[in-house]
Structure 1
Amino acid sequence: MGNNEMNSKFYELLQEQVRNELNAERQYVALAVWFDREDLPQLAKRFYRQAVEERNHAMAIVQYLLDTGHQVEIPGTAEVRNDFTEPAELIELALEQEKQVAADIESLAKTAREEDDYTGEQFVQWFLKEQVEEIATMSTLLNVAKRAGSNVFEIERFLDREGADAGPDPTMPPVAGGAL
């Protein structure tokens, strides 16, 4: 691996993406705790699970960095928002967060391609697919929340009915320390 590849923009962005994914994890924990406090167990469960997913994404990037001989630094995380008034507000924040992550992943793919890093570009492909799924799921949940209005139990019923976890994705890249 040449020195040029070790100092590439792609690897700088990957390191930043570890931080982004860990920030998303913390924010999802905050959302889950809010839902838990409001006695909305299905929403809480959904966002606790989402937090674990974001952690696994960060650790998959860590594993890739390790596998490609790069120095990995685990960053601190940013402040999270904890103050909300209604479920739709939290879901809107989550949707915006997923859209931002999608833009970050697209930037990673573009940078890998510009730098002729075919392995890096291949690695990022799974994350591109994952973000399409994440945005679609969160968009649906937001639509349900908006339709439910003040009857938050309709959201709970929807998640109870539709919210079955598909289980681990066998195509996901390896996760440092193993996926949770």
Structure 2
Amino acid sequence: MNTNRLSDTLAKALNDQMTNEAHNAQIYLSYASWASDKGYDGIANFLFRHSNEERNHMMKFLEYILKRGGKVVVTAIPEPGPDPASINDLFEKVFSSEVENTTRIYNIVDLSHQEKDWATFNFMQWFVKEQTEEETMALDLLGKIKKAGGAEANDDALYNLDKDLAGTPDDAVLAQDTSVENP
């Protein structure tokens, strides 16, 4: 008896996204290692935590595919790419990576809607919200580096930014979660 409840197209898209989440974990890991090597331990810690979060996203896709009776296909993870040229470049790359990931998530949502696979559509809503948080986090990082001087940030500003990110929570506050009482 066939217990697979995923179309071939959706199974491939979900497996591809699982690999992409693993790739994103590697990107954050690479950037964290680079920041640590440059002496930015607060930024590195923040990025190491995000690497782990991306790995958890990968596992969510893996578990979902299995629970829907699909076949998990583990493939090679692309290299994370070149090291950032600066902290400013790092945050710009983080933002670009998150925007690209959002596009991929939206494509799976669209595909699940087209196929009327409401279970997958529902599963993907968690990732839609998560990507809103991830993009907000990346925009917050860009805002912080901009206030520190952007590409021209001096050592004092980068030191303070590093210290600030050491204690920054992993999740961004979303507009939909705020109110007049809780801005």
Q: Same fold (TM over 0.5)?
A: yes
Q: CA deviation at 1:85?
A: 2.5
Which of 154, 158, 162 matches 1:156? 162
TM-score, scaled to structure 2: 0.84
Please list, as runs of the form range in 1=range in 2, the aligned pairs for 1:13-162 lying within 5 A after superposition: 13-148=13-148, 149-150=153-154, 151-161=157-167
Where in structure 1 do 4 or more consecutive aligned residues deviate above 2 Å?
1-8, 81-85
Cα pair 1:19 1:75 within 8 Å, conserved: yes
Once the 2 structures are TM-superposed, how far is the Cα of residue 6 of structure 1 from its aligned partner?
A: 3.9
The gaps in structure 2 that reach 5 residues or longer are 172-183
Task: State whether residues 5 and 69 of structure 2, in contact with CA within 8 Å, keep that contact through their aligned partners in structure 1.
Answer: no
In structure 1, the gaps of 5 or more residues are 167-180
| Counterpart secondary structure, 1:152 | helix
TM-score (norm: length of structure 1)? 0.85
Q: Answer yes or no: is the 8 Å Cα contact 2:46–2:166 preserved in 1.
A: no
**Cα deviation digits, residues 91-127 of structure 1 (max 9, x gap):** 1111100001100000000100000100000000000
- Aligned equivalents of 2:166 and 2:79: distance in 1? 31
Distance 1:2 1:121, change over 3 A: farther
- Give 1:84 shift: 2.5
Cα offset, 1:24, TM superposition: 0.5
What letter matches 1:127 in structure 2?
F
- State the structure with more CA Rg: 2
Deviation at 1:4, TM superposition (A): 9.1
CA RMSD of aligned residues (A): 1.9
Larger mean CA deviation between 105-114 and 145-154 belongs to 145-154
CA distance in 1 between partners of 2:133 and 2:37 (Å)? 28
CA contact (8 A) 2:32 2:48 kept: yes
Size of the aligned set, in residue pairs, is 165
